[in-house]
Amino acid sequence: MRRVNHGETLRSNRLRPRSFGFVILPFGITSITLTLIISRLAVCLFIALLSGTTSLVVAQPAPMLAARAWMLVDGMSGARLAAFEPTARLEPASLTKLMTAYVVFSALNENRIALSDTVTVSPAAFAAPGKAAARMYLEPGLEVSVDQLLRGMLTVSASDAAVALAEHSAGTVDAFVERMNAEVRRLGMANTHFSNATGQSDAQNYSSAEDLAILARRLLTDFPQHASLFAQREFAYNNVSQTNRNRLLWTDSHVDGMKTGQLSASGWSVVATTARAQGEGEHAFQRRLIAVVLGAASDASRTQETLRLINYGYAAFDTVQVYRRGHVLAKPVIWKGDRGVVPVGVDRDVYVTVPSGELRRLGSEPLKSLIERPDPLVAPLQQGETVGRMIISAGGRHVAEVPVVALEKVESGGLLRRAYDAIVLWWRKRNG
């Protein structure tokens, strides 16, 4: 990989590389305001939160909760804010239905099923195991829509609805569970395995706080159109009106999902999502946190401990939006293509999460940003194809990295263009 050094200018509190390649961006803080310091630091720290892996951001000590395991994640940046026994394998109880929902949402996206589909209730769905209250009270032979089944499963944890959805989506419950575990592997949930679609107690049905946080974030990012289902407080079917067991929906107005679970073997558990307004002007956004608390002693304790974790996350950390999806970082030369340059940048909104006050403390340290890519860059290129990476360091310490992608498609050029560029590249390589 060839590396080329380039200069950098700072305009409108944004980093805009003049050219692309291996870029080193020195930063000073002399005679600049705190706002500018924060802007520069944000640009230099955001990478850690976009790489697909979540690193633990250090801040004031997190509270010790009365639970067996927990995790708190910033839903915008992906940063892990607090964790205790995050990989411990525990029975997730009805939190299993979050993966049931993920598989059903996938089937909806692929047009294999539709919300308006009517499902004939099978004897197996009618006889679904579980608590008497955790059901829609479906009757065999009756027809019910997929939309109603989803609302019943996610609002009142209806196990009969979960079985009916599994059968309708995959033909059989066993086939559906295979799809659940295929998604487990695809999403990188290393400490999870499902043996059923309802959360029925089983030694082979387990998950972890870390994996459930991964699943919750992917539910929100992959299927935002269904997010409102997790916030529904009440559900009525078959002349029975029931309320959501997630008491956080009533306790904190910022909480907007997701799901609770309870088994005598594993205790009282919850995955909760919350959003609060943060930022100003064009950088205003709803900052989301994802809290997973497993194995609390009671419903009341589950609610109280989760609130403590959420409040800690908002008080101890700040999240800043530094780039919007599609922001162009540079326009490097591309060879053998139907054009001479290609815009490259980030293909999603970019956020950084740091401990409160950390930006001010880091303001006195030298910061460097570096971009790596193959040289030469040769067509064809697909839109969204990774063409390099950006590496960030603060005070000589590697922070993290993020993929840099082609923001537009570049087709192969004509015969003459390809031949001419091949000669130029050969000559350049021959002469070093």
Closest listed residue to residue 221, CA positions, set 79, 353, 349: 349
**DSSP 3-state of 393:** strand
Which domains, ranges and CATH numbers included, belong to the chain? 8-51+324-430 (2.60.410.10), 69-321 (3.40.710.10)
DSSP H stretches of helix in 278-357 = 299-316
Residue 286, classified by CB atoms within 10 Å of its CB into exposed (0-12), middle (13-18) or buried (19+), is middle
Active site residues: 94, 97, 157
Cα separation, 343 vs 384, whole angstroms: 11
Length of the chain in residues, anyone?
432
DSSP 172-189: SHHHHHHHHHHHHHHHT-
DSSP H stretches of helix in 9-119 = 34-45, 96-109
DSSP state for residue 56 in the 8-state scheme? B
What's the distance, CA 144 to chain centroid? Answer: 32
Q: What averages of pLDDT result for each successive group of 10 residues across the chain (432 residues)?
A: 34 31 29 27 35 51 95 93 97 98 98 97 92 86 97 97 98 98 98 97 97 98 96 94 96 95 94 91 88 97 97 90 84 93 88 74 59 88 91 60 90 94 90 77
Backbone angles phi, psi at 84, to 5 degrees: -140, 125
Token look-up 């999870």 returns 192
**DSSP 3-state of 211:** helix
DSSP state for residue 378 in the 8-state scheme? B
- What pLDDT score was predicted for residue 364? 52
DSSP H stretches of helix in 188-323 = 209-222, 248-251, 299-316
